[in-house]
């Protein structure tokens, strides 16, 4: 496969939700979630522009199964904005689980986007909350800096990474998913569905070893 040359004038790295609660031992553990760290940190060292997202829920968030009597994690419910997967309580504002993994090179980021702050709306994407209309401001931030191609790593491939990649394509950005820098939850085939959706939207797939300066 052909190497991908980083263009520092148009490229940015998007690191999605590499937080304690998504890593081994966390409240919403992604299997081998911490395995993305060497890839993420290596790429952070290559890119002039890095954006990091952080799940940042208030206690009692509506996406938590504990907020709905009789419901369990991974069940689906219908919210005002559409279908919603219910999750264990995770990434609660100010908690140790919400913190970035200690090994992540957070200090090298240009911007940190905290999402999921609205108690009534979940937020997977780095671009929009799950109502699909409330923006995070990332599109404008990238546009004002003439950044037009995003390289994505992080957690989890089939949820926050997937939603971010699809929204980036809808917003007109070129997208490269760095597969060895991501790990998935894979709920009822969600990983296969996400990969098909991203491929169909024009997302390019690559290994971190292909990305060069």
Catalytic positions:
17, 115, 160
Q: DSSP strand E in the chain: where?
A: 4-5, 11-16, 50-55, 76-79, 82-85, 111-115, 149-155, 174-183, 204-206, 211-212
The Cα-based distances of 203 to 94, 126, 180 in angstroms read 34, 16, 15
- Cβ distance 98 to 54 under 8 Å? yes
Question: At 140, which helix (H) or strand (E)?
Answer: helix 138-144
Cα–Cα dist 186/36, whole Å: 16
Phi-psi group of 17: left, alpha or beta (phi > 0 → left; psi -120 to 50 → alpha; rest → beta): left
């Amino acid at each position: 496969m052909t190497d991908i040359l980083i263009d520092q004038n148009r490229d940015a790295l998007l690191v999605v939700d590499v937080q304690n609660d998504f890593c081994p031992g966390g409240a919403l553990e992604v299997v081998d979630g911490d395995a993305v760290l060497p890839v993420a940190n290596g790429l952070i060292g290559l890119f002039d522009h890095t954006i990091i997202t952080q799940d940042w829920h208030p206690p009692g968030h509506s996406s938590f199964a504990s907020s709905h009597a009789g419901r369990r994690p991974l069940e689906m419910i219908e919210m005002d904005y559409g279908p919603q997967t219910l999750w264990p309580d995770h990434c609660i504002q100010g908690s140790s689980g919400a913190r970035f993994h200690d090994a992540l090179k957070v200090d090298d980021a240009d911007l940190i986007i905290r999402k999921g702050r609205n108690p009534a709306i979940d937020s997977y994407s780095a671009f929009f909350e799950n109502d699909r209309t409330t923006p995070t401001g990332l599109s404008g931030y990238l546009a004002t800096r003439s950044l037009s191609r995003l390289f994505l790593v992080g957690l989890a491939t089939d949820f926050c990474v997937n939603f971010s990649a699809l929204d980036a394509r809808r917003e007109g950005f070129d997208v490269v998913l760095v597969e060895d820098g991501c790990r998935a939850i894979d709920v009822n085939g969600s990983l296969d569905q996400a990969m098909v959706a991203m491929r169909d939207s024009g997302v390019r797939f690559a290994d971190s070893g292909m990305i060069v300066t």
